Amino acid sequence: MTQSKKQTTSHNGLQIKYVSDGGRIIVIGAGFGGLATAIRLQAAGLPVTLLEAREHPGGRAGQIQDQGFTFDMGPTLITAPHLLEELWQLAGRDLREDVELIPLSPFYRILFADGRSFDYWGIAEQDEAEIARFEPRDVQGYRAFLAETRHIYERAFVDLAGQPFLAMGDLLRVTPELIRLGGHRSVYSFVSRYFRHPYLRMVFSFHPLFIGGNPFRASAIYSIVPYLERLGGVHFARGGMYTLVQAMEKLFCSLGGEVRYNAPVEQILLKERQAKGVRLQDGTALSAGAVVANSDVAQTYLKLLPREYLPGSIERYHYSMSCFLLYLGVKREYTHLRHHTIIMPERYRKLIHEIFDGRGLPADLALYLHTPTRTDATMAPPGCESLYVLAPVPNLAHGIDWTRETPAFRDRIIQFLEQQCGLTGLSENIVTEQMFTPLDFASQLRSHQGAAFSIEPTLLQSAYFRPHNRSNMFDGLYFVGAGTHPGAGIPGVLLSADLTSRLVCNDIVRV
């Protein structure tokens, strides 16, 4: 086992908290965050062991295959593909040789309660024509919105997401700029300055939901998502998003990394407030020079570390909503659905409020449909549809008994799709069906409160206020993934892997 000593100097602009002279790095969890960190560290020459509780990698990005149908279980779209390209490059390979990214056009179709629809292309001319159908005066607003979100992207995304915010001073330095950019306002209030039509306000404000945020209280900084989508496009990985996970695992192994599945970590081993390794559920102890937790941040503190060190913030944080997912293999096609179709509720503000802050199940539905067969014929047998239905729902802190509610909620969704979304005959055409409920987020993914996106992204739960990428309590312990800075979503998690691995590399001096 290696020696360590305290150090206060800085290196590459990052303050060094502690110096280890090496040893194997253990990464707990093979989600996108764990995989990307493992690749980065292994590529930097540090030996990594990746420990995953389940029998496969990917975390939320799992896959189901049944009777010729393939379903992605979590993420369905890739934005900011340059972050993946960068990961492959530093491992000495080309992403496009391993994964085929299919650009989606349109990015999505949005259906409103009165039957109207909006196709969002990410191409100025087509988007402006769509906007003009609803409110011609909003075309000008759209241009101003894009210019402003580009400005926020250049100032905020690059500066805020690219530094680890380990000290309050880091936040204070950027606060004036954050206020200038309107970061204290909500996404919805920001969007409403540019769009008059209520439907267009929905179209340009729902994006925080993609990362577990409430459009009515997520910081306006998150309004950059439409700009980010236009910049790099919205993509799907041929064969399903899981092919990306498999390619990341292969990349890591090709660099000499070690992965162990069915290896749940039960405890992070400490010696004098320094992480020294882990103990697996089967009792095996593994020593390490540093430990990186991609496991749920709250659960890491609650279950893997001594209770006496539990920060009060873990219980005070507001956790994101959960999701109820249906994966339906259907023996017919619904050609009015695009690759992504979003079904907006009539009561946008009220429903979102009930999902985030209410008690019990809301009376109405907002749905996100993924129909990859529209783009990739390999996802289902000919003439069939691989259909993924996502309903955002309250997390487990909201007192819903899912063991009782699940069958009725499933039926309500199917009926709604048949009667209000044009999926006639859906129930009699289902040939295979699976579900993933908030209880599965908690039990299978070990997610605190069954939250789908960990800690909700609000201004006061972001940057310095989020769990840091490097523990300020234990030397040699790091965090990566949706619950840490900068946050959820594949781009956020890949950025956190960059920050975390830079901190690890900085703190490790090989002798």
Neighbours of 59 (CB within 10 A): 30
Nearer to ligand FAD, 220 or 490 (CB): 490
Distance, in Å, from the CA atom of 236 to the CA atom of 381, rounded to the nearest integer, reads: 19
Q: How far is the CB of 35 from ligand FAD (least distance, A)?
A: 7
Q: How far is the CB of 31 from ligand FAD (least distance, A)?
A: 2
Distance, in Å, from the CA atom of 345 to the CA atom of 154, rounded to the nearest integer, reads: 33
Closest CA to 210 of 378, 60, 334, 65: 60
Distance, in Å, from the CA atom of 156 to the CA atom of 160, rounded to the nearest integer, reads: 5
Nearer to ligand FAD, 118 or 441 (CB): 441
Q: How far is the CB of 383 from ligand FAD (least distance, A)?
A: 26
Distance, in Å, from the CA atom of 47 to the CA atom of 22, rounded to the nearest integer, reads: 9
Nearer to ligand FAD, 19 or 39 (CB): 39
Q: How far is the CB of 33 from ligand FAD (least distance, A)?
A: 3
Q: How far is the CB of 81 from ligand FAD (least distance, A)?
A: 11
Nearer to ligand FAD, 296 or 385 (CB): 296
Nearer to ligand FAD, 141 or 481 (CB): 481
Q: Kindly give, in sequence order, each residue whose CB lies less than 8 Å from that of residue 477, ignoring residues fewer than 6 positions away.
A: 268, 275, 290, 291, 293, 470, 471
Q: What is the SS3 assignment for 386?
A: strand
Please name every residue paired with 267 in a beta bridge, in sequence order, or none if there are none: 279
Give the position of tokens 């900068």.
486
Strands (DSSP E) contained in 452-497 are 477-479
Q: How far is the CA of 421 from the CAs of 142, 336, 433, in angstroms?
A: 28, 10, 19
Nearer to ligand FAD, 128 or 266 (CB): 266
Q: Which residues bind ligand FAD (CB under 6 A)?
A: 28-34, 51-54, 59-61, 74-77, 264-265, 294-296, 323, 325, 390, 445-446, 452-453, 481-482, 488-490, 493
Q: How far is the CB of 497 from ligand FAD (least distance, A)?
A: 8
Nearer to ligand FAD, 74 or 362 (CB): 74
Q: How far is the CB of 209 from ligand FAD (least distance, A)?
A: 10
Distance, in Å, from the CA atom of 259 to the CA atom of 269, rounded to the nearest integer, reads: 20
Neighbours of 70 (CB within 10 A): 21
* Complete DSSP assignment for 246-311: HHHHHHHHHTT-EEESS--EEEEEESSSBEEEEEETTS-EEE-SEEEE-S-HHHIIIIIS-GGG--
Q: How far is the CB of 140 from ligand FAD (least distance, A)?
A: 31
Nearer to ligand FAD, 174 or 325 (CB): 325
